[in-house]
Amino acid sequence: MMRILALFILLFANASCEPEKCGLQKVKTRELIVRGYGSYPGQFPWHVAIFHRKSKVRTDYACGGSLISASFVLTAAHCTRGEDGHEIRASLVKVFLGLHDKEFIGPNVQQHSVYGIHTVPSEGPWVGLKNDVALLELGSNVEYTNFVQPICLNFEQIPNRVIGTVPGWGRTEVEDISEVLKTASMPIISTLNCLQSNRDVFGGALDTGMICAGHQNGTSVCNGDSGGGLVVQRCTDGGCSWSQIGVLSFSAGNATGHCRSDGYGAFSNVQTYLPWISQITGMQFGEDISQYVCGHQQDETTTRTRWPWHGTAYRKNPSFPNKDCNSYDVTILSNQIVLTVHAFIYCYQKDPESYRVRVGYPAVGISDEFTQEFPIEKEFTSAQQIPHTRNLAILKLKGRIQFTKYVQPICLRPPEDSSFSSIVNQNGYLVSHGQHKYGDQPEEMVMPIVKKSKCLKDHLSLSVATFNAELYCAGTRNGTGPSELDVGTGLFVQRGNNWFLAGALFELASPVFYAPKSFHTKHYAMFLDVTHFSNWIVSTVKYIHGPKAPFLCECGEFKTYVPPDCETRS
């Protein structure tokens, strides 16, 4: 399969950098943990100690965590906050791996600084959840040894009464922080039983993204065990390995504020957050996490699933006198980036707090469980690098898109296929919402791409001098076409099994913009040629995602521009 560039900065990691297996105990020797049992060095090689630097001379143990790859640690979000409740700087966090006795830094211990802290956005599928999960991105890759190994992450449903294990340095039964790593076995408890055990504690905090575990026999988790993993062992004919099913969030306390030895613990369900973990780390998990690649339709039964890269940037409080600012269509390029036309920037900059980007929605103004919505963090325009042309805009989202069959990114056309002649006389497709009234469903339109000479003849207000390389026309002139409120929508062309972004709707029949639709649809619509802006798009994506972002090297059967580092990763 030939490689192509997709501005999809997500799911594919460098397999050669990762271990072939996870969840293995390399050291074979023969309970936060209140009345638990001592562990032996190497028994939980994925468990890490997280320290916070309080001053130049003082560093305190804060939480546990789990190594999930050579460069990422999974922990609780509250473990990344200081005493004031705000997230602390990554430079103040230190991670110790291979540690057994906190008072003894032996030869098996590795220390790593933290490059970045990632927390779950309260957007899209995680709205309303506690989201007590965080990823620590290490400043350098760990070295796998018998005492430092990654844990597997669970992607299956968890039945009740399954016995899990929790390691930790939390407070003991005498309220002391344990110096030596201890471990406790904890069965999974139904949500109902957990709530019945203590509604004051769990009633307002136990959500659908959490699981409950523990005994009421004196073995429990406590302060200091937070962030540690609830793990289970699975054995097959090929051997046994460990998978993490939860991240410890909180447990019940007694009247004095100390930990109860007969209370349950609440854990963030790892399975709930696998899509987010995948987006941040590039890891893939099991059969239920599909290898989403750009330009692929996962389901062709509805317009929404046929064009999953289509979205809208809309104004929460629409202004009817200025209806052209109420919405602009966008196209998904990556898990943080959508593309539209520059005209949106004029509207957005007047009232940036009013705008949201919505993807995966069934109709105008309507959301369902598959819809995701995000504020806009920052806008970029090609006018900054390509002056004196009609221009595109890139919007960076606050939060990350979760890719599903309803929401996916589009591919960009390759350089060798970037000339206008390669798409002229071919059918392009776009998504229209008509007059964008509440409840208007997406409509698929076929837009044949025509020669520029036909475009010039149809748009008499244009001249050869003003009809620059970035413009072309498409349509049928038979009464079918987009409306003036579809500006920004993408024009998509197919190559083999992949779909590519060929253009963005720039303008309808000029110069009478607000003429009746019957007027517009008897003329060609004008599009900005996205390939004219390829260098700007690539450089902007790299700026947003950073130099460490792994570009997807394989997306389909047609070769495109491949970043140099893809040659070494494929």
CATH number, domain of 380, equals 2.40.10.120
Range of the domain at 186: 163-281
* Residue 347: per-residue pLDDT: 87
Residues 466 and 522 occupy one common structural domain: yes
Q: Are residue 332 and residue 271 in the same domain, yes or no? A: no
State pLDDT tens for residues 132-146. 999 999 988 888 888
Please confirm whether the linkage preceding 511 is cis (ω < 30° from 0). yes
**CA–CA dist 117, 115 (Å, integer):** 7
- Residue 391 domain-assigned? yes
The mean-pLDDT minimum among 85-89, 115-119, 269-273, 481-485 falls in 481-485
315 and 266 fall within a common domain: no
| pLDDT average, residue stretch 547-567 | 35
What's 328's DSSP letter? Answer: E
Q: Are residues 267 and 361 in the same domain?
A: no
Sorted by sequence, the CB contacts under 8 Å of residue 336 that are 6+ apart come out as 9, 396, 397, 399, 400, 401, 544, 545
Q: Assign 215 a pLDDT band (cuts: 50, 70, 90).
A: confident
pLDDT value of residue 567: 32
Long-range contacts of 235-243 (CB under 8 A, 24+ apart): 241/21, 241/22, 241/23, 241/24, 241/152, 242/23, 242/24, 242/25, 242/46, 242/151, 242/152, 243/23, 243/151, 243/152, 243/153, 243/154
DSSP reduced 3-state for 127: coil
Confidence of residue 552 (pLDDT cuts 50, 70, 90): very low
Q: CA–CA separation, 356 vs 314, rounded Å?
A: 6
3-class DSSP state of 219: coil
Q: Of the ranges 48-62, 414-428, 513-527, which is most confident?
A: 48-62
Greater model confidence, 113 or 560: 113
Q: Are residues 274 and 315 in the same domain?
A: no
- How many separate helices (H) and strands (E) can be counted in the chain? 9, 27
pLDDT band at 396 (very low <50, low <70, confident <90, very high): very high
- Residues constituting the chain: 570
Report the Cα 453 to chain-centroid distance in Å.
43
Confidence of residue 148 (pLDDT cuts 50, 70, 90): very high
Has residue 366 been placed in a domain? yes
- Tell me if 558 is assigned to some domain: no
CA–CA separation, 517 and 511 (whole Å): 14
Note the pLDDT of residue 90.
Answer: 92
Confidence band for 9, pLDDT divided at 50, 70 and 90: very low
Same domain for 357 and 253, yes or no, is: no
Tell me how far apart the alpha carbons of residues 271 and 261 are, in angstroms, rounded to a whole number. 27
Provide DSSP, 266-289.
EEEEGGGGHHHHHHHH----TTTS
Regarding whether 257 and 182 lie in a shared domain, the answer is yes
pLDDT band of 416, cuts 50, 70, 90: low
Summarize the confidence of residues 409-425 as an average pLDDT.
Answer: 80
What local confidence, expressed as pLDDT, does residue 192 receive? Answer: 84
Q: Are residues 268 and 329 in the same domain?
A: no
pLDDT of residue 7: 38
pLDDT band at 466 (very low <50, low <70, confident <90, very high): low
> Is 345 within the bounds of a domain?
yes
pLDDT for the residue 365: 79
- Looking at per-residue pLDDT, the higher value among 351 and 20 belongs to 351
Within-domain flag for 454: yes
What whole-number distance in Å separates Cα of residue 319 and Cα of residue 325?
8
173 in a domain, yes or no? yes
For the chain, what is the domain count? 2
pTM: 0.53
Residue with tokens 């060609």: 524
456 domain residue, yes or no:
yes
Q: CA-CA distances (angstroms) from residue 508 to 284, 286, 521?
A: 43, 46, 8
**Final residue belonging to a domain, choices 233, 265, 281:** 281
Q: Please state the rounded mean pLDDT for residues 92-114.
A: 91
Least confident of 259-263, 286-290, 303-307, 333-337: 286-290
Using a pLDDT cut of 70, give the percent of the chain over it: 73
Q: Closest Cα to residue 426, out of 470, 486, 492, 481? A: 492
257/368 same-domain check? no
pLDDT at 350 over 50: yes
What pLDDT score does 124 carry?
73
In the block, residue with structure tokens 């019957």: 518
How far apart are the two ends of the chain, measured CA to CA in Å? 11
- DSSP of 502-565: EEEEEESSSS-TTS-HHHHTTSPEEEEEGGGGHHHHHHHHHHHH-TT---B---SSS-----TT
Domain termination site, one of 281, 302, 335: 281
| Least confident segment among 26-30, 408-412, 432-436 | 26-30
Residues 248 and 321 in one domain: no
Asked if pLDDT for residue 372 goes beyond 80, the answer is yes
CATH code where residue 194 lies: 2.40.10.10
Helix (H) or strand (E) holding 453, with range, is helix 452-458
Q: Are residues 367 and 266 in the same domain?
A: no
CA distance 232 to 214: 14
- Mean pLDDT over all residues of the chain? 76
Indicate the pLDDT class of residue 515, thresholds 50, 70 and 90.
Answer: very low
Asked whether residue 389 is assigned to any structural domain, the reply reads yes
pLDDT (0 to 100) of residue 351: 85
Residue located via tokens 């600012």: 325
**Co-location of 325 and 246 in the same domain:** no
Of 8 and 320, more confident: 320
Q: Which residue has the higher pLDDT, 315 or 97?
A: 97
Q: What angle do CA 374, 380, 383 make, to 5 degrees?
A: 150
CB 394 within 8 A of CB 380: yes
Residue 421: phi, psi to the nearest 5?
A: -60, -20
Residues 231-274 have pLDDT tens digits of 998 777 667 788 999 999 887 654 444 555 567 888 999 998 99
